[in-house]
Amino acid sequence: MNHIQQLISTEELQTICQKIGSQITEDFEGETPLIIGILKGCQPFMADLIKEIGLDLEISYMKVKSYEGTTSTGKITLSLDTDISIENRDVILVEDIIDTGKTMKTLTEILLERNPKSLNVVALLDKPERREVEFNADYIGKIIDDVFVIGYGMDYNEKYRNLPYVGILHLEETEK
Ligand code: IMP
Ligand code: MG
Reported as a single tens digit per residue, the pLDDT across 43-64 is 999 999 999 999 999 999 999 9
Which residue out of 99, 138, 145, 146 is catalytically annotated?
Answer: 99
- Ligand 1 atom closest to Cα of 155? 21
How many angstroms separate the alpha carbon of residue 22 from the centre of ligand 1? 26
- pTM: predicted TM-score of the whole model, two decimal places: 0.94
Contact 36, 60 (CB under 8 A): yes
Dmax over CA atoms of the chain, in Å, equals 54
Mean pLDDT across the chain, nearest whole number? 94
Give per-residue pLDDT as tens, 71-109: 555 567 789 999 999 999 999 999 999 999 999 999 999
Is residue 99 flagged as an active site residue? yes
How many angstroms separate the alpha carbon of residue 74 from the centre of ligand 2? 13
CB-based pocket (< 6 A), ligand 1 = 41, 66-67, 72, 95-103, 148-150, 154
Contact 63, 78 (CB under 8 A): yes
Contact 51, 21 (CB under 8 A): yes
> What is the average pLDDT across 113-121?
98
